[in-house]
Amino acid sequence: MDTDKLILSLTKDLKPVRRVPAPLAGAVLLSVVAAGLVFFALLGLGGPRADWLEMSRHMPFMADSVIMFAAGALAAFAACRLAVPDTRVRGTVVGALFLATSAWVYLCGRAFLGVTAGGMQAALLSFADSAECILGLAVLIAAPLILAFFVMTRAAPVWRGWAGYAAVLSVSSFGALGMRFLCQNENTPHLLLGHFLPVILFFVSGIFLGKTILRRGL
């Protein structure tokens, strides 16, 4: 087909379109929806831990929760920014992803430094506990992850690997936050094996998911 004819056919019967929300608004929306879906999934899994109110007064617990929430929100902003075409990945996106990733590296690193060889051995021997939490995390993030990818394919991400990474990082962070309010085991090796490391594995796999699933976008 001739390009001029193509342009005529594209402009004929042109309908108005609804613009995607601005990245910041999109990030807020995505964060709220993701946190909400995680909350409902948490209720479905039996509700929050019995001591959640007491733990919420515990500074280190709340500090970790704030870090996870912030990581989720920053990654959500990056995902929204990456959902629209651009010639390159902008500094704000790189910065947001760097901070969100660093938050998880910090959590893992701190937990890793806090474990003893004996503690880690015991945690590995009772890996079934950690496996249960990994499964719980997967359940918590399933719905928000599907929604995030669905919404992103309706946008037009061109940096698909980065976009997938950001989406999974965001959703996993909120999922991990939900898990902290579900799982009562505060054992450091358990947190490392069952909560923190799986999140890192999930969001690294987001690069592959993005390159595969978001191909359908543009």
Nearer to other proteins, 151 or 171 (CB): 151
- What's the sign of the alpha-carbon dihedral 181, 185, 190, 191? positive
Dihedral, 11, 16, 18, 23 alpha carbons, nearest 10: 50
The stretch among 16-24, 64-72, 114-122, 141-149 that binds other proteins (CB under 8 A) is 16-24
CB of 159 to other proteins, least distance (A): 8
CA-to-CA separations, 14 to 9, 17, 95, 134, 175, in angstroms, rounded: 9, 9, 38, 48, 41
Question: Which residue's CB is nearer to other proteins, number 66 or number 218?
Answer: 218
* 59 makes contact with other proteins (CB under 8 A): no
Closest contact distance (angstroms) between CB of 58 and other proteins is 42
**Residue whose CB is less far from other proteins, 165 or 196:** 165
Instruction: Closer to other proteins by CB, 15 or 57: give it.
Output: 15
- Among the candidate windows 12-20, 33-41, 51-59, 170-178, which touches other proteins by CB under 8 A? 12-20
Structure tokens belonging to residue 186: 């505060």
Determine if 17 is a binding residue for other proteins (CB under 8 A). Answer: yes
Contact between 91 and other proteins per CB under 8 A:
no
Q: Are 79 and 152 in contact (CB under 8 A)?
A: yes
> Distance between CA atoms of 124 and 107, rounded to whole angstroms?
19
Question: Could you give the dihedral angle defined by the CA atoms of residues 102, 103, 109 and 110, in that order, rounded to the nearest 10 degrees?
Answer: 150
> Taking CB under 8 A as the rule, does residue 86 contact other proteins?
yes
Alpha carbon distance 49, 183 (integer Å): 6
Centre a 10 Å sphere on the Cβ of residue 30 and count the other Cβ atoms it contains.
29
DSSP 16: P
Q: How far is the CB of 89 from other proteins (least distance, A)?
A: 10
Which residue type, as a one-letter code, is found at position 38?
V
- Count the site residues for other proteins by CB under 8 A: 26
Q: Does 158 bind other proteins (CB under 8 A)?
A: yes
Interface region with other proteins, contact rule CB under 8 A, candidates 45-53, 60-68, 77-85, 97-105: 77-85
| Residues contributing to the site for other proteins (CB under 8 A) | 1, 3, 6-8, 10-20, 22, 83-87, 155-156, 158, 218
